[in-house]
């Protein structure tokens, strides 16, 4: 039997539902980006370096500075095609649905890695379909794939492309 709630609870209940669904979408996007089918994988460092936050990700991390990926790079460079590891490096925070959220990659070579079409196919395919199904009004998030020196990610902000999920 359904539990009765007063009309005064409708706004907080809807807000909680929006926050839950928004965070679920962000978690889905970041988790799926950290997958060898949706991100290029050499050592797994790029796929492991997707991050969600209220500030855009700064692409500064060098694979040589992080274990086990630096050892895996040496093995891959020596011809071991099985040497990779995908292990997400960042926890996904909880956001309010009113918050502008950036999803980006922290590897210094993110702009170069985004030239691989896997990310674009995932963003424009699976994520694009989800967004069209979830956001039926004209206020859909603007999500794009970009590669620009110093910026690596998805989305749009101030004419530059990187990760941004925002209500227009």
Residue 150 has pLDDT above 50, yes or no: no
Is 1 a residue whose pLDDT tops 80?
no
Closest CA to 104 of 121, 92, 87: 92
How much of the chain is helix, strand and coil, in % rounded to 5?
40, 15, 50
Judge whether residue 79 has pLDDT over 90.
yes
The residue that leads in pLDDT, 114 or 157, is 114
Q: Can you tell me the mean pLDDT for 137-152?
A: 54
- Distance, CA of 72 to CA of 76 (rounded, Å): 6
| pLDDT of 133 over the 60 cut | yes
- How confident is residue 135, by pLDDT bands cut at 50, 70 and 90? low
What's 150's DSSP letter? Answer: T
4-13, 21-30, 146-155: segment of lowest average pLDDT: 146-155
Structure tokens at 40: 């290029």
**Residue 27 backbone dihedrals phi, psi, to 5 degrees:** -60, -45
Convert the pLDDT of each residue in 6-19 to its tens digit. 677 788 888 898 89
For residues 73 and 63, what is the distance between their CA atoms, to the nearest angstrom?
A: 8
51 has which bridge partners?
Answer: 104
Q: What is the pLDDT of residue 60?
A: 96
CA separation, residue 137 to residues 101, 124, 126 (Å): 20, 18, 19
User: For residues 69 and 48, is the Cβ–Cβ distance under 8 A?
Assistant: yes
- CA-based radius of gyration for the chain: 18
């Amino acid at each position: 039997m359904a539990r009765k709630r007063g009309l005064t609870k409708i706004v907080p209940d809807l807000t909680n539902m929006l926050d839950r669904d928004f965070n679920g979408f962000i978690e889905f996007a970041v988790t799926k980006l950290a997958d060898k089918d949706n991100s290029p994988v050499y050592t797994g460092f790029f796929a492991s370096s997707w991050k969600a936050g209220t500030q855009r990700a700064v692409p500064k991390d060098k694979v040589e500075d992080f274990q086990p990926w630096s050892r895996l790079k040496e093995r891959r460079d020596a011809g071991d095609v099985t040497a990779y590891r995908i292990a997400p490096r960042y926890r996904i925070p909880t956001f309010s649905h009113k918050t502008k959220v950036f999803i980006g990659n922290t590897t210094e070579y993110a702009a170069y890695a985004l030239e691989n079409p896997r990310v674009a196919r995932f963003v424009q395919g699976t994520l694009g379909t989800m967004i069209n199904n979830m956001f039926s009004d004209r206020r859909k998030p603007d999500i794009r794939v970009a590669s620009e020196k110093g910026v690596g990610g998805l989305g749009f902000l101030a004419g530059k492309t990187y990760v941004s999920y925002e209500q227009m």
